[in-house]
Amino acid sequence: MEQKLKVLIVDDDEVDRMAVRRSLLKAGVEIELSEVSDGNSAIAAFPENSYDCVLLDYLLPDQDGLTLTRKIRSLGIKVPIVVLTAQGDEQIAVELMKAGATDYLSKSRLSPEILARVLRNAIRVYRAEMEVEKAHQQLQESNNLLTRKNKELERQQQQIELQNIKLVEGSRLKSQFLGTMSHELRTPMNAIIGFSQLLLRHKCGALSHQQKDLMERILNNSKKLLMLLNEILDFSKLEVGQLDVKPGIFDLSKVVNATVVEIRSLAEQKNLSLQVQMNLENPIVFNDSTRVKQILMNLLSNALKFTESGGIAIEVKELSENKVAIAVCDTGIGIAPTNIKSIFEAFWQVEQDTNRKYSGTGLGLPIVNALVQMMGGKITVKSQLNEGSIFLIELPRQVVPVSQNRERVLNGTDIYKKKVLESVGSSQFPSGRRMPRDEE
Ligand code: ADP
């Protein structure tokens, strides 16, 4: 059933109003009519009533239909307006539509059917327009909301970038501090080692048995400390992309044997066997002998540290003409499968609390891993809890020159520079002290 329409007729002519009323009745439109005879009364009627349509005579005593239409629209009154004109004037019609009228109708064409059709059309069109406007408003609101959210996201992103710069800067300072400190500490440590060795070689007179024993302890502990310092120094270099490999030709079997000699006394102290199996047809390689020794020393120290009974075996062999492999096997405590992937993370240790049984920095394996990668090799681990572990290193017989590898594998300084420059949008790189280089 059609809803009863509330219509306002604005016309000063009583006869014309009656004609409109009759036409609407005849057309069978369910209607609730209100009538006023001038423009000001029409405007006064709006605040208290809401109409479905206004039928507006163009010629009113106080103003014309165009002026009144403009006023109604300027007041923001939302209602369909059909203007009834005395004669068909196309120019007036155009102006009326521009001013916000919904339709117009010449009084000479007024018939029940036409009036009812124009009225319903005007209401339908107006409602459709309102729907469009509402949708438009909603879109506008969503748009505003999105813009606000976008701005908020941009602000958060800026904050994150700022935090990032601070973090990167903090990390750089930390690496710089670690590098400087370990470098500074190495000098007195080397002096202690040197002087202890002098004393042990009786260069300053013979030592009593007890003095010799004490001096050996000083020497061993100093060597341990030096190794820790070297690890920290290497790690700080690794972080800023300054860890390097300087290749040269050397005999791999000699380096392996020399490393084993250095560590043998420690194995003996723990009653552990230490065996070397050298299966190399051609022991000559092109690599950094100091770094290879460092890798081996690290793996052997770990093997000794984490083994209480049994022993350690080292096997060196050729995998192919261009590839050699070094395996370090122990019968120690082993590593749980869930921990294997973590052991190459910096500072990671199975025992993390301060009461831990095994000493160490948790930096050895990350450095070993980085070095092996810089050499173009790979490291794999097989381990079983309470059974032991095997660390296998595969290396090319001839490593790619360091500078190329460094670009490829580690370039922390450049990454840092890039991050800072991207964040601040500047071409100036903040000045800072260079990491001291290791003096071998
Ligand atoms: P750390 O200075 O603690 O030895 P590493 O980076 O060399 O640091 O090793 C990280 C951790 O990996 C060790 O703390 C230990 O938990 C585990 N791990 C390394 N090597 C062995 C091994 N041969 N046997 C058992 N656990 C090992």
- Is 244-428 assigned to CATH 3.40.720.10? no
Tens-place pLDDT, residues 336-354: 999 998 999 887 777 666 5
pTM of the predicted model as reported, rounded to 2 decimal places: 0.60
For ligand 1, whether the C-beta of 379 sits within 6 Å is no
| Both structure tokens of 254 | 């000699």
Question: Would you say 142 and 121 are in contact if contact means Cβ atoms under 8 Å apart?
Answer: no
pLDDT, average across residues 3-32: 89
- Is 5-110 assigned to CATH 1.10.540.10? no
Ligand 1 centroid to residue 298 C-alpha, Å: 9
Tens-place pLDDT, residues 24-41: 888 888 889 999 999 999
Q: What is the pLDDT of residue 436?
A: 34
Which of these, 227, 234, 198, 247, lies nearest to 302 by C-alpha position?
A: 227
3-state secondary structure the chain: CCCCEEEEEECCCHHHHHHHHHHHHHCCCCEEEEEECCHHHHHHHCCCCCCCEEEEECECCCCEHHHHHHHHHHCCCCCCEEEEECCCCHHHHHHHHHHCCCEEEEHHHCCHHHHHHHHHHHHHHHHHHHHHHHHHHHHHHHHHHHHHHHHHHHHHHHHHHHHHHHHHHHHHHHHHHHHHHHHHHHHHHHHHHHHHHHHHCCECECCCHHHHHHHHHHHHHHHHHHHHHHHHHHHHHHHCCCCCCCCEEEEHHHHHHHHHHHHHHHHHHCCCEEEEEEECCCCEEEECHHHHHHHHHHHHHHHHHCCCCCEEEEEEEEEECCEEEEEEEECCCCCCHHHHCCCCCCCCCCCCCCCCCCCCCCCHHHHHHHHHHHCCCEEEEEEECCCEEEEEEEEECECCCHHHHHHHHCCHHHHHHHHHHHHHCCCCCCCCCCCCCCCC
Is pLDDT of 207 > 60?
yes
Is pLDDT of 398 > 70?
yes
pLDDT, average across residues 123-132: 87
Using CA atoms of 116, 119, 125, 130 in order, give the dihedral in degrees to the nearest 10: -140
- In terms of pLDDT, which residue wins out, 416 or 53? 53
- In terms of pLDDT, which residue wins out, 412 or 311? 311
For ligand 1, whether the C-beta of 23 sits within 6 Å is no
First to last CA, the chain: 100
pLDDT > 70: what percent of the chain?
89
- Helices 289-305 and 252-269: crossing angle in degrees, nearest 10, is 20
Ligand 1 centroid to residue 382 C-alpha, Å: 13
pLDDT, average across residues 163-182: 86
Confidence of residue 426 (pLDDT cuts 50, 70, 90): very low
For ligand 1, whether the C-beta of 350 sits within 6 Å is yes
Domain borders along the chain are: 5-110, 166-236, 244-428
For ligand 1, whether the C-beta of 389 sits within 6 Å is yes
Confidence of residue 413 (pLDDT cuts 50, 70, 90): very low
Q: What is the pLDDT of residue 174?
A: 83
Residue 101: partners with Cβ closer than 8 Å, 6 or more residues away: 56, 65, 69, 81, 82, 83
For ligand 1, whether the C-beta of 68 sits within 6 Å is no
- In terms of pLDDT, which residue wins out, 391 or 265? 391
Is pLDDT of 431 > 70?
no
Ligand 1 centroid to residue 354 C-alpha, Å: 15
Tens-place pLDDT, residues 69-91: 999 999 999 899 999 987 667 78
For ligand 1, whether the C-beta of 306 sits within 6 Å is yes
- Ligand 1, residues 338, 365, 382: which to mutate, most atoms within 8 A of Cβ? 365
Among protein residues, the one with the nearest Cα to ligand 1's atom 23 is: 303
Is pLDDT of 440 > 80?
no
- Helices 364-374 and 209-239: crossing angle in degrees, nearest 10, is 60
Ligand 1 centroid to residue 336 C-alpha, Å: 12
pLDDT, average across residues 5-9: 92
**Least confident piece of the model among 115-119, 182-186, 404-408:** 404-408
- In terms of pLDDT, which residue wins out, 161 or 403? 161
pLDDT, average across residues 158-176: 89
Q: What is the pLDDT of residue 407?
A: 42
For ligand 1, whether the C-beta of 394 sits within 6 Å is no
Report residue 187: phi and psi, to 5°.
-60, -55
pLDDT, averaged across the chain? 85
Long-range Cβ contact pairs of 249-253 (< 8 A, separation 24 or more): 249/284, 249/285, 249/286, 250/284, 250/285, 250/287, 250/289, 251/283, 251/284, 252/280, 252/283, 252/284, 252/285, 252/287, 252/292, 252/316, 252/324, 253/278, 253/280, 253/283, 253/316
Ligand 1 centroid to residue 273 C-alpha, Å: 20
Is pLDDT of 433 > 60?
no
CA distance 431 to 173: 12
Residue carrying structure tokens 């102290």: 269
Q: What is the pLDDT of residue 437?
A: 36
CA distance 129 to 92: 22
Ligand 1 centroid to residue 246 C-alpha, Å: 26
Q: What is the pLDDT of residue 408?
A: 39
For ligand 1, whether the C-beta of 332 sits within 6 Å is yes
- In terms of pLDDT, which residue wins out, 3 or 246? 246
Ligand 1 centroid to residue 365 C-alpha, Å: 7
Tens-place pLDDT, residues 268-305: 999 999 999 999 999 999 999 999 999 999 999 999 99
